Amino acid sequence: MNEKYTNLLIKKIKENNSYNNNYSTLLKKPNYDYSDLTVGVLALQGAFREHIEAVKRCGAKAIQVRLPKQLSLIDGLIIPGGESTTIIKLIEKYNFKTHIYDFYKSNKPIFGTCAGLILLAKEIVGFNFGLGLIDICVDRNAYGRQIDSFEHAIELKIDSKLNYNVKNLNSDADKNIKKFANNNIDINNILIKGQNNRKFNAIFIRAPKILSFGKNVKVLAELDGKAVLAQQDNVLVCAFHPELTDDLRIHYYFLDIIKKAKNMINFN
C-alpha cells in the first residue's frame, strides 16, 4: 500500500459527509461505562491512530501496541487496516504471532479491520499466512486497487448499546426530542431503534473479500451477498474501515464484547 496515497485518501474521506453525518449529534453516550476498559491498537503500520481516536470517543482507554509485552496491559486488541504484507513482516520480526495466540487463548477479544481481517483469517487465497483465529477464507484486495476505493451503505445486524443525554440536545431536531422527553415518553427506546435500523456508511479501501465462512461464524453485515462484517466467539472482523466514520456503533459493539469477556474472566 502506498502510505502517502492512503493518508491523502483518509484525509479526503474525513472531509466528506461520511465523517460528518447528520446523525452524529444524536449519539450522546453509551448505556455502559467503558472507562474500565483498555484497548490496544497494533501500531506497527496502518490506520492505528484513527482507531485510537474512535475508542477514546467511546469512553474507553486506548494505547498503541508496538511490543508483545504490551498485550498484558490491555483487555482487547484491534489490528488495523494497512499493508498486510508489511504488517505480517513486522509481526514476525517482533515475535507477535505467539503472543497474539496467547492473548486469544486467554479469552481476550480481537478486532481486525481490512488488513487485520486478512491476518486473522484461517485461509488466505494465494498466501501462506493466517493466524487462523476466525474460520473464513479471504481473497486479498478483491474489491479492487486503491483507486477503486468506494463507500456503500450497509445494514448492521448488531445490537447497539446507545443512550441519549436529553439535557445536552441543542439542534432543531433535538428540541423535538426534548419535547417528547418532557412528556415522559421513553425517547431512548425510539432513538436506539432508529440508530440500529440506520444503515452504516462503510468505506472500502483496497478491501479483502470473505469468500466463505464456517458454521460457527456469524455474519453481521453483507455487501452484494458477501459477508463484510463477521464474528466468531471473541473475534470480530470487517472488510471496511469503521474508524474513518463518525458512526461508532461497531466500536461500541467491540467494546461490549470486551466488557462481557472481561466480566467472565473476572468471574472465573
* Active site residue ranges: 114, 241, 243
Nearest alpha-carbon partner for 152 in 77, 79, 229? 229
Residue 117 falls in which region: left (phi positive, over 0), alpha (psi -120 to 50) or beta: alpha
Q: How many Cα atoms are found within 13 Å in the side-chain-facing hemisphere of 134? A: 30
Whole-angstrom Cα distance, residue 228 to residue 216? 16
Distances (CA, A) of 228 to 68, 223, 231, 251: 28, 6, 10, 15
Cell of 164: 441519549
**Residue keyed to cell 464474528:** 231
Written as nine digits, the cell of 58 is 467511546
Handedness of CA 259, 260, 263, 268 (dihedral sign): negative
Where do the DSSP E strands lie in the chain?
29-30, 38-42, 61-65, 76-79, 110-113, 121-124, 134-139, 150-154, 162-163, 200-204, 209-213, 218-223, 226-232, 235-238
Q: Report the distance separating Cα 124 and Cα 137, nearest Å.
A: 6
Q: Cell digits for 93?
A: 520480526
